[in-house]
Amino acid sequence: MSNNKTQTIEMREALRQALDEEMARDKRVFIMGEEVGEYNGAYKVTKGLLDKWGPMRVLDTPISEGGFAGLGIGAAMTGLRPVVEFMSWNFSFVAADQLIQNAAKIYYMSGGRFSVPIVFRGPNGAAAQVSCQHSHCVEALYSNLPGFIVIAPSNPYDAKGLLKSAIRDNNPVLFLENELDYGMKMEIPLEEYLVPIGKGNIVQEGKDLTLISHGRMVNVCKETAKVAAQKGISIEIIDLRTIKPLDLPLILQSVKKTHRCLIVEEGHFFAGIASEIGFQIMQNGFDFLDAPIARVCQRETPLPYSKFLEAETLPNVQRILLAIEKTLL
């Protein structure tokens, strides 16, 4: 029974619906994190869920990321399906031992005896002038570890469908949102849908260059592509949606067509997602390329407070455009 009814909602509401629907579907799903309950979420993603589901399924935690991240992992090992919110992914670093040593490794380390079906979610990367300790992009760090699924949606449709898939997955999933995107509106279906993990998306087709990105930077890429189009440059944009496992076939198919590739990453250059994707393209699609692969990433500094410096270090339309033009020379 399919219908075409739609709703126009913000990203935070799309995420809230995903949580609510999965909590209705499976009694083992519960939410835990700082301010997720009585405060209704630092960014209102969990608004109303405490009232609806009660304090055993929506738990306000103390400021104790290592403790509650580990508690979630233990609960996941013993049959529950926790969704743990980090108010910022930057706070996950104090829980890094739990994530890295336990969540990522237990399934393999136990020879398959215990799985860890858990989702860690929250805003990742820079927001608006939140400075050095609240702006880090964590995807490159965590993607280096076998055992994690890493997802970074760029719009409300994908966010909802991917979060539902993440909650149903039997592995630890790191779900990276962005504070600046929570208010992003989009028309999405009213009826239930899923977006599969591990599948990228061609946001727009083009013939001159493949522009690959994830998360908030996809939208910066879309803006850039509009400017490029005015200059007669046809850009194909790939939204990774899932960083790990990487949808390499989609990337190769596109690069085979455009022969040129630019990767845009909000995080840093060194050992980043762009480096990895670039290497995999080189390894598997070297013959498709007519120009060296290029990348635009955050400069190699902690992210500074001043808005002028912040704008300078993050990938922006100007820097991306410059890189496109250089690659097309």
Partner 1 sequence: MERKKQEYNYTFFSPFPEKNPRQIAEKVVEKAGKEKILEALRKMLLIRNFELRAESAYQHGKIGGFFHSYYGEEAIQTSLITAIGEEHWFTGFYRCHALALLLGNTPNELMAELYGKENGNAKGRGGSMHLYGKQLLGGFAIVGGQLPIAIGSAFTIKYLNEKDKIAVCFLGEGAVAQGMFHEALNLASLWELPCLFVIENNKWGMGTHVSRAIAKEPIAMSQAPSYDMKGYTLDGMDFFNCYAGFSHIYEEILRSKKPILVECICARFRGHSISDPAFYRTKEELGASMERDPINLLFTTLQELGLINAERFNEMNNIEKQKMIEAMHFADTSPWPSPATLEEGVFAP
Catalytic residues: 65, 134
Sheet with 235-239, edge to edge strand ranges: 201-204, 235-239, 209-213, 261-268, 294-298
Q: Which is nearer to partner 1, 56 or 128 (CB)?
A: 56
Query: Which residues between 25 and 84 bind partner 1 (CB under 8 A)?
Result: 30, 56, 59, 61-62, 64, 66-80
Site string for partner 1, 176-205 (x = CB under 8 A): ------------------------------
Question: C-alpha angle 96/170/197, rounded to 5°?
Answer: 90
Tell me whether residue 114 or residue 305 sits nearer to partner 1 (CB atom). Answer: 114
Residue from 20, 21, 44, 101 binding partner 1 (CB under 8 A): 101
Specify the residue for token string 């306000």: 60
Under the binding rule (CB under 8 A), the answer on residue 97 touching partner 1 is: yes
| Shortest distance in whole angstroms from residue 109 CB to partner 1 | 5
Residues contacting 205, CB < 8 A, separation 6+: 236
Q: Do residues 272 and 302 touch, judged by C-beta distance below 8 A?
A: no
Residues 61, 225: Cα–Cα separation, whole Å:
43
The closest of 240, 285, 292, 233 to 266, measured between CA atoms, is 240
What track of x and - describes contact with partner 1 for positions 123 through 142 (by CB under 8 A)? --------------------
In whole angstroms, how close is the CB of 186 to partner 1 at the nearest point?
A: 30
- Specify the residue, 109 or 311, whose C-beta has the smaller distance to partner 1: 109
Q: Report how far residue 138's alpha carbon sits from residue 220's, in angstroms, rounded to the nearest whole number.
A: 19
Q: Which residues bind partner 1 (CB under 8 A)?
A: 30, 56, 59, 61-62, 64, 66-80, 97-98, 101-102, 106-117, 146-147, 149, 170-171
